[in-house]
C-alpha cells in the first residue's frame, strides 16, 4: 500500500508528444479509475506507471521512491492484463508462483501466499488446472491472484472486464469493489466504461486527447463537470447541449437560444458571447403550461421506472428529457420544456464549464 | 436438383473415390513388394512369376544383415549424427529466432535478410569447400565431420521467428512484471509455450538428417563410420548379389524414419507444411 | 517497455552467437572460398596457381559439362511439371475422402517421401530389375520387350524422373491439401446452387484459388530438382555414368574423381548462379501474380 505520484510526466513516440506535463497523486489505499475513450492515453499512463512504457521526462514516485527508471519488476507494482496473459503451459498455482520464484522467495512463503490469495479469490479448487481448462471469469480471478500474491504497493488493472460477457462483468465489478474494501490496497484501474468508473472509483481521472480533463469523485464529475468533454462523456443518456449566446441578466447570465428565447440563469460570467448551455435529461421538466421551450416529441421510450422523451426544438436541436414512469406524453405531442436552474451549466467557446 | 442428377453426381464421386484408393495401393506397392521380397528365401525371390505373399516366411536375411554386416554400427552412426544435427539445429535456431523476433540489437534486420538470402544457396554446391574445410579440421570419417555441414537449416530459424512473432506482447510484459530475466523469459515462458513447434521441428530435422546422402557419402570413406543410408548402398560386398538381403537392409534403414512418421503423422505433416510456406 | 538496451543487445548477441559461428564457418566462409577456388588450378586438397577465368572459359567446349547441363534441364522438365500435376490430382482425390480413410490414404502416398534415397533406390532397382523385377512382368503382359532400364541411356532419365516423382510427391501433396483446405466451403455451396458442373467448378474456382500453391510447389520442386544428385548417382552405378551426368554429379566427378578442385568450383559457381537466377525470377513472378490477384 503506497502513494503514487506522477510529477510533470511527458512521453513522445518519435516526434509526436503523447503525454505532456501530466501530474497526478494517488493516495495510499485509494481506488483511482482512468476513464477516457480509446486513444485518450489512459492505458499509456498506466503502462508508464507499470514500467512497460518509458517515461521521457518527469518524476514517478512509488511509495516515495523515484521509480521512472526502474525495470517493471522492480517497481513493486502488479498488473492485471486485459487478456490476462496467463502462461498457458503453467497450472494456476505455477502462474501465481512464477513471479515469486523469480525473486527467490522461500518455497513455504510462496505456498502460503498462493494459497491465501486463492482462498480470498475462491479459486483454491482450481490451483492445479491449466488456464485452458478455466472459464473466462475464473481466468480473470487467476490474473488478479497472480497480481496480489506479490503483495505489491499498487495493483494496476488494464480494462480487465472487457473480455467478459455482460452478466459476468457486473458480477465481477461488484467482486472487485469488495476486494478493494477487504484489501485496502492502492488500485489504479483503466476503463472506457463510465459505469465501471462511477461504481468502482474513489476518484476518477478523465482523460481526453492525452490530457487530464478532470479529477474528482464520481459525484463531482457527474454534477460539476469541468469541461464539455466530461459533461458529454459521463451520464447516460448524455447531457443535452443548446447553442446560443449569453448576456448580463438580473441574477446572472441570460442565455439566448438561436430561436431568440431567453433563459435566465444564476451563473456569474465575466465574459459574454457564444456559449453552450448544458442540461441533464433528469433536470428537464415537461410542463403542461405554455412557459419554457416549445418542443415537438419524436420518440417516447418507456423504461418502466422512467420515460425518456426525445424531442426537437424549433431550431432542430435534439433534446432528451426524462419524465416519470407514468408519463402521459405521446409521440407527436407539442410540449414545453423547463430546466431546473440549479443544474444548468454554461460552456464557453473553449469548452470550460461555468456552474452556478 | 432432381434425384436423378444427384445420383449421377454420387456415382461420379464414388468412381473418383475408388480410383483414388486404387492409386494409393499401387503407389505404395513398391514398398510392400520390397518388404515381402525381403521375407522370402532367396530362391523364391527370383522365381519367374509373381507371388504376393511368401510361400515360406523367413527372417534369415534380417538376421544376416544384423549379424554378418556392420549395420548395427551404421545404425549407431546414423542415430548419433541425426540426433546431433537435430539438437544443434533446433537449439541454435530457436535461440537465433527468439533474438530476431523479440530483442532489439544492432544489425538485426541485416541478419534476418542474410538468413533469408541463404535460402537461395544450394548446399550441394558447397560440397567441395565443405570437404576441404572438414578435411583440414581433421574431421573426415568422424561423427562431428558428418554433422557439421548439415547444420544449415535457415528454414528452422524462420519458422521459430514466425512463431515467436505470433505470441501476444502481453506475455513478454507479464514476464517482465514477474521479474523474469531475459533468459528466464525465453526458457520458462516462450520455449514451453512453443513445445509443439519444437517437437515437430525436431522430428523433421531428425528425418532430414537420417536421410541425408550426399554429404555423409563424401565425408566418410571407412566402412565402420558410414551412416546406414550410405552404408547399405556403398558396401556392395557386404550383401553380394542377394536381392532379398539388400532389400532387408533397405527395410532396416527405412524403418526408423517410417516408424517416426507413422507415430507422429500430424506433427511431421504440420512441420513440413510450415517449412514450405517460406521455402519458396 | 523499459529496456536496458545494452543488456538486451548483449543477451541477443549471446543467443545468436552459436548460430552465427556455425553459419560463418560452414556457410559464409565456404561460399567465399568456393569463389576463390574457382579461379585456380588447385586440386581438391592443396594449393593451386591463379588461372583467372580459364576454368570458366573451357566450360563451353567441355563435352561432359554440356551433357550435365542439358541432362539437368531434361531432368527438371521430366520431373517438375509431371510431378506437380500428379500431386495435384492425388491431392484432389484425397481431399474428397474423410476421417481415418483420408489419413490412411494420405499416409500411403506420403510414406515414400519419408524414406532415405538409398531405400528408394533399392526398392525401385528391385521393382524394375531386368530379370526378376515385378514391373517386367507388366512389360511382358503388355508385349513390350524387357529393357535393362537403368543401363539404357534413353530410358535412364525418364525412369529416374518417375522414381523422383514417386519419392517427392508426398511433399507437394501436403501443400496442395493445405491449399485446398483453405478454400472456404461456402464458395462451393454457392457455386452448386448456381448449377455449376464439376469441370467448371474446378476450372473456375478450385484452379484459380489454388494457383498460388501451384506456383509455390513448382518453385520448390524446380529449385530442388536443379540440385539432383543422389538418385542419378545411385542408379548409374554399374551403368553409364558419363551419359547420365547432371550438374552436381559433374561437380562430384571433377572434384572427387578427377581431383580438380578449381574446375569443380567453377561448375559449382555456374550451378549456384543458375539457382539464384531461378529463385529471383520465381520470386518476382510470384510477386507479380500476387499483385494481379
Same domain, A280 and A135: no
pLDDT grade for C292, boundaries at 50, 70 and 90? low
CATH number for the domain that contains residue A322: 2.40.50.140
Range of the domain at A10: 4-232
Q: Neighbours of A (≥3 Cβ pairs closer than 8 A)?
A: B, C
The correct answer on CATH 3.30.450.20 for the domain covering C40-292 is: no
Gap between the Cα atoms of B65 and B260, Å rounded: 22
Same domain, A11 and A136: yes
Residue B66, burial from CB neighbour count under 10 angstroms (0-12, 13-18, 19+)? middle
Same domain, A224 and A250: no
User: What are the pLDDT digits (tens) for A261-304?
Assistant: 888 888 888 888 899 999 999 999 988 777 888 899 999 999 98
Domain end marker among A170, A198, A232: A232
pLDDT at B52: 83
Kind plus residue range of the DSSP H or E element containing C288: helix C261-292
Query: Among A198, A101, A83, which residue's Cα sits nearest to residue A143?
Result: A83
**Strands of the sheet with A57-62, listed across from one edge:** A16-26, A4-13, A57-62, A65-66
B188 touches chain A (CB under 8 A): yes
Same domain, A222 and A81: yes
Contacts of residue B100 in chain C, CB cutoff 8 Å?
A: 16
Question: Could you count the other beta carbons within 10 Å of the beta carbon of residue A38?
Answer: 9
The ranges assigned to domains in chain C are 40-292
pLDDT grade for B278, boundaries at 50, 70 and 90? very low
Kind plus residue range of the DSSP H or E element containing A339: strand A334-339
User: What are the pLDDT digits (tens) for C21-74?
Assistant: 999 999 999 999 999 999 999 999 888 889 989 999 999 999 999 999 999 999
C-alpha cell at A272: 459574454
Same domain, A249 and A225: no
Mean pLDDT of B112-127: 86
C-alpha cell at B238: 557386404
pLDDT at A231: 94
Pairing of strands A154-158, A186-191: parallel
Gap between the Cα atoms of C105 and B24, Å rounded: 6
Same domain, A45 and A161: yes
Kind plus residue range of the DSSP H or E element containing C262: helix C261-292
How many domains, in total, are found in chain A?
2
Contacting C residues, span 14-43, partner chain B, CB-CB under 8 Å: 15-16, 18-20, 22-23, 25-27, 29-31, 33-34, 37
User: What are the pLDDT digits (tens) for A106-135?
Assistant: 999 999 999 999 998 999 999 999 999 999
Question: Could you count the other beta carbons within 10 Å of the beta carbon of residue C255?
Answer: 27
Same domain, A12 and A154: yes
Same domain, A132 and A158: yes
**Strands of the sheet with A77-80, listed across from one edge:** A77-80, A154-158, A186-191, A31-35, A203-208, A211-216
Q: Which residues pair with A286 in a beta bridge?
A: A337
Same domain, A66 and A147: yes
CB nearest C272 (choices: B121, B233, B268) = B121
Domain end marker among A232, A250, A282: A232
Same domain, A196 and A249: no
Cα of C11 to nearest chain A Cα, Å: 16
CATH number for the domain that contains residue A12: 3.40.50.300
Best of A13, A69, A71 to substitute, by most chain C Cβ atoms within 10 angstroms, is A71
Do B96 and C31 make contact, defined as CB atoms within 8 angstroms? no
User: What are the pLDDT digits (tens) for C262-281?
Assistant: 999 999 999 999 999 988 88
Same domain, A58 and A177: yes
Residue A295, phi then psi, degrees to nearest 5: -150, 160
* CA dihedral (A118, A124, A129, A133) positive or negative: negative
Task: Classify B24 as helix, strand or coil.
Answer: helix
Same domain, A17 and A68: yes
User: What are the pLDDT digits (tens) for B183-222?
Assistant: 999 999 999 998 889 999 999 999 999 999 999 999 999 9
C-alpha cell at B146: 558428418
Contacts of residue B25 in chain C, CB cutoff 8 Å?
A: 108
A70 touches chain C (CB under 8 A): yes
Domain end marker among A198, A215, A232: A232
Q: Taking CA atoms, what residue in B is nearest to C117?
A: B211
- Digit-by-digit pLDDT tens for chain A (356 residues) are 568 999 999 998 888 888 888 899 999 999 999 999 988 889 999 999 999 998 999 999 998 899 988 888 888 899 999 999 999 999 999 999 999 999 999 999 999 999 999 998 999 999 999 999 999 889 999 999 999 999 998 999 999 998 888 888 998 899 999 999 988 889 999 999 999 999 999 999 999 988 899 999 999 999 999 999 999 999 888 999 999 999 888 888 889 888 888 888 888 888 888 999 999 999 999 887 778 888 999 999 999 899 999 999 988 899 999 998 888 888 998 999 999 888 999 999 888 999 98
User: What are the pLDDT digits (tens) for C55-64?
Assistant: 999 999 999 9
Cα of A30 to nearest chain B Cα, Å: 22
Gap between the Cα atoms of B254 and A176, Å rounded: 61
Size of interface A-C (CB pairs under 8 A): 14
Amino acid at each position: 500500500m503506497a502513494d503514487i505520484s506522477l510529477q510533470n510526466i511527458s512521453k513522445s513516440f518519435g516526434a509526436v508528444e503523447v503525454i505532456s506535463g501530466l501530474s497526478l497523486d494517488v493516495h495510499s489505499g485509494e481506488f483511482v479509475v482512468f476513464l477516457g475513450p480509446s486513444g485518450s492515453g489512459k492505458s499509456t499512463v498506466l503502462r508508464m506507471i507499470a514500467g512497460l512504457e518509458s517515461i521521457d521526462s518527469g518524476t514517478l514516485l512509488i511509495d516515495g521512491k523515484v521509480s521512472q527508471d526502474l525495470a517493471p519488476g522492480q517497481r513493486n507494482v502488479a498488473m492485471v492484463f486485459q487478456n490476462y496473459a496467463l502462461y498457458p503451459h503453467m497450472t494456476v498455482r505455477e502462474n501465481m508462483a512464477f513471479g515469486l520464484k523469480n525473486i527467490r522467495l522461500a518455497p513455504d512463503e510462496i505456498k502460503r501466499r498462493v494459497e491465501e490469495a486463492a482462498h480470498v479469490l475462491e479459486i483454491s479448487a482450481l490451483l492445479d488446472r491449466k488456464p485452458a481448462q478455466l472459464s473466462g471469469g475464473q481466468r480473470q480471478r487467476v490474473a488478479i491472484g497472480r497480481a496480489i500474491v506479490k503483495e505489491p504497493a499498487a495493483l494496476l488493472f488494464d480494462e480487465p472486464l472487457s473480455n467478459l460477457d455482460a452478466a459476468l462483468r457486473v458480477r465481477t465489478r461488484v467482486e472487485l469493489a469488495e476486494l478493494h474494501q477487504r484489501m485496502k490496497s492502492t488500485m489504479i484501474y483503466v476503463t472506457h466504461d463510465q459505469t465501471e468508473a462511477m461504481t468502482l472509483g474513489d476518484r476518477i481521472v478523465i482523460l481526453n486527447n492525452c490530457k487530464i480533463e478532470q479529477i474528482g469523485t464520481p459525484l463531482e464529475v457527474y454534477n460539476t463537470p469541468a469541461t464539455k468533454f466530461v459533461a458529454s462523456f459521463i451520464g447516460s443518456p448524455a447531457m443535452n447541449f443548446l447553442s446560443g449566446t449569453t448576456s448580463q441578466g438580473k441574477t446572472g447570465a441570460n442565455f439566448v437560444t438561436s430561436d431568440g428565447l431567453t433563459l435566465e440563469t444564476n451563473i456569474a460570467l465575466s465574459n459574454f458571447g457564444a456559449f453552450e448551455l448544458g442540461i441533464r435529461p433528469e433536470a428537464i421538466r415537461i410542463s403542461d403550461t405554455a412557459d419554457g421551450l416549445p418542443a415537438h416529441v419524436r420518440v417516447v421510450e418507456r423504461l418502466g421506472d422512467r420515460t425518456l422523451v426525445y424531442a426537437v426544438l424549433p431550431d432542430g436541436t435534439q433534446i432528451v428529457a426524462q419524465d416519470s414512469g407514468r408519463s402521459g406524453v405521446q409521440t407527436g405531442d407539442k410540449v414545453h420544456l423547463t430546466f431546473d436552474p440549479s443544474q444548468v451549466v454554461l460552456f464557453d467557446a473553449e469548452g470550460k464549464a461555468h456552474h452556478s | 436438383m432432381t434425384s436423378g442428377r444427384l445420383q449421377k453426381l454420387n456415382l461420379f464421386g464414388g468412381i473418383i473415390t475408388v480410383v483414388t484408393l486404387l492409386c494409393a495401393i499401387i503407389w505404395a506397392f513398391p514398398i510392400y513388394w520390397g518388404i515381402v521380397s525381403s521375407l522370402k528365401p532367396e530362391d523364391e525371390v527370383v522365381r519367374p512369376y509373381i507371388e504376393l505373399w511368401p510361400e515360406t516366411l523367413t527372417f534369415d536375411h534380417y538376421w544376416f544383415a544384423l549379424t554378418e554386416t556392420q549395420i548395427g554400427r551404421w545404425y549407431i552412426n546414423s542415430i548419433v549424427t541425426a540426433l546431433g544435427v537435430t539438437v544443434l539445429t533446433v537449439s541454435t535456431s530457436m535461440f537465433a529466432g527468439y533474438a530476431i523476433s523479440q530483442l532489439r540489437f544492432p544489425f538485426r534486420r541485416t541478419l534476418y535478410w542474410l538468413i533469408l538470402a541463404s535460402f537461395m544457396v544450394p548446399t550441394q554446391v558447397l560440397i567441395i569447400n565443405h570437404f576441404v574445410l572438414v578435411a583440414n579440421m581433421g574431421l573426415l570419417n568422424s561423427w562431428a565431420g558428418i554433422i557439421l555441414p548439415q547444420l544449415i537449416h535457415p528454414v528452422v530459424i524462420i519458422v521459430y521467428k514466425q512463431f515467436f512473432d505470433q505470441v501476444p506482447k502481453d506475455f513478454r510484459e507479464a514476464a517482465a512484471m514477474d521479474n523474469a530475466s531475459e533468459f528466464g523469459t525465453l526458457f520458462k515462458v516462450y520455449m514451453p509455450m512453443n513445445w509443439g513447434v519444437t517437437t515437430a521441428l525436431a522430428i523433421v530435422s531428425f528425418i532430414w538428417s537420417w536421410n541425408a546422402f550426399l554429404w555423409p557419402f563424401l565425408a566418410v570413406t571407412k566402412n565402420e563410420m558410414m551412416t546406414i543410408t550410405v552404408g547399405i548402398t556403398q558396401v556392395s560386398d557386404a550383401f553380394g548379389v542377394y536381392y532379398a538381403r539388400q532389400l532387408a537392409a533397405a527395410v532396416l534403414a527405412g524403418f526408423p524414419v517410417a516408424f517416426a512418421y507413422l507415430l507422429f503423422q500430424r506433427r511431421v505433416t504440420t512441420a513440413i507444411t510450415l517449412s514450405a510456406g517460406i521455402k519458396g | 517497455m523499459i529496456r536496458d538496451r545494452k543488456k538486451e543487445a548483449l543477451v541477443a548477441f549471446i543467443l545468436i552467437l552459436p548460430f552465427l559461428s556455425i553459419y560463418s564457418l560452414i556457410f559464409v566462409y565456404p561460399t567465399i572460398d568456393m569463389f576463390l577456388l574457382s579461379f585456380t588450378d588447385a586440386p581438391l586438397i592443396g594449393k593451386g596457381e591463379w588461372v583467372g577465368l580459364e576454368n570458366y572459359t573451357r566450360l563451353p567446349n567441355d563435352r561432359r559439362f554440356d551433357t550435365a547441363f542439358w541432362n539437368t534441364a531434361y531432368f527438371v522438365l521430366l520431373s517438375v511439371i509431371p510431378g506437380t500435376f500428379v500431386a495435384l490430382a492425388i491431392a484432389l482425390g484425397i481431399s474428397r475422402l474423410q476421417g481415418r480413410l483420408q489419413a490412411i490414404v494420405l499416409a500411403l502416398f506420403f510414406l515414400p517421401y519419408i524414406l532415405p534415397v538409398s531405400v528408394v533406390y533399392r526398392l525401385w532397382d528391385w521393382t524394375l530389375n531386368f530379370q526378376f523385377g515385378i514391373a517386367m512382368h507388366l512389360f511382358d503382359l503388355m508385349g513390350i520387350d524387357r529393357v535393362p532400364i537403368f543401363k539404357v541411356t534413353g530410358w535412364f532419365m525418364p525412369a529416374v524422373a518417375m522414381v523422383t516423382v514417386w519419392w517427392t510427391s508426398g511433399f507437394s501433396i501436403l501443400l496442395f491439401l493445405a491449399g485446398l483446405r483453405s478454400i472456404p466451403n461456402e464458395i462451393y455451396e454457392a457455386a452448386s446452387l448456381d448449377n455449376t458442373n464439376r469441370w467448371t467448378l474446378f476450372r473456375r474456382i478450385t484452379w484459380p484459388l489454388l494457383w498460388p500453391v501451384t506456383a509455390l510447389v513448382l518453385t520448390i520442386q524446380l529449385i530442388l530438382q536443379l540440385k539432383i544428385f543422389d538418385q542419378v548417382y545411385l542408379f548409374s552405378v554399374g551403368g553409364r555414368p558419363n551419359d547420365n551426368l547432371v550438374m552436381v554429379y559433374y561437380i562430384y566427378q571433377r572434384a572427387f574423381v578427377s581431383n580438380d578442385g578449381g574446375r569443380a568450383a567453377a561448375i559449382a559457381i555456374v550451378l549456384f548462379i543458375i539457382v539464384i537466377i531461378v529463385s529471383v525470377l520465381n520470386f518476382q513472378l510470384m510477386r507479380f501474380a500476387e499483385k494481379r490477384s
